[in-house]
Amino acid sequence: MQDLTQPDPVDVGLRVLLDQPSYAAQVLITLARVLEFDHSYEMTGLVRERAADIAADTILRTLPDVVARESLARAYAAMPALALDVTRGQYALLVRQAARSLG
């Protein structure tokens, strides 16, 4: 008879995986964290690209290429458009909202 007091390790592993944000969402969350370091500075396209490179390298570097490419494509598709006169901190808030929408 199976001991029912201990959860099945497969069930535990699946629950952990399903509770974590997707890789694309993790990239966006990391992107927001990078932007928050200099939150009061102006947000530019170059800053976004550099922060996205850092975030992608941090989250995706150990994954298979196909997974990394698909996750990065999903992250870029969900990224909010840049607006004039927005700070990095304000943009980081928008990026976090986008990450929540990805799940």
Res 54: pLDDT: 94
Q: 9 is written with which tokens?
A: 């390790």
- Does 36 reside within a domain? yes
89 assigned to some structural domain: yes
Taking phi over 0 as left and psi of -120 to 50 as alpha, with beta for the rest, 85 belongs to: left
Domain count, the chain: 1
| % residues pLDDT > 90 (the chain) | 68
Q: Tell me how crowded residue 20 is: count the other CB atoms within 10 A of its CB.
A: 11
Q: Which pLDDT score, from 0 to 100, does residue 2 have? A: 60
Residue 38 forms part of a structural domain: yes
**Domain for residue 60, yes or no?**
yes
**What is the per-residue pLDDT for 5?**
72
92 vs 71: CA distance, rounded Å: 19
In this structure, is residue 14 part of a structural domain? no
Beta bridge partners of 42: 87
- The pLDDT mean for the chain works out to 87
Of 76, 70, 74, the C-alpha closest to 52 is 76
Task: Indicate whether 6 pLDDT > 90.
Answer: no
Tell me if 4 is assigned to some domain: no
pLDDT tens-digit readout, 20-59: 778 999 999 999 999 999 898 999 999 999 999 999 999 9
In the predicted model, is pLDDT for residue 69 greater than 90? yes
What residues pair up with 87 in beta bridges, in sequence order? 42
Domain containing 95: what range? Answer: 21-102
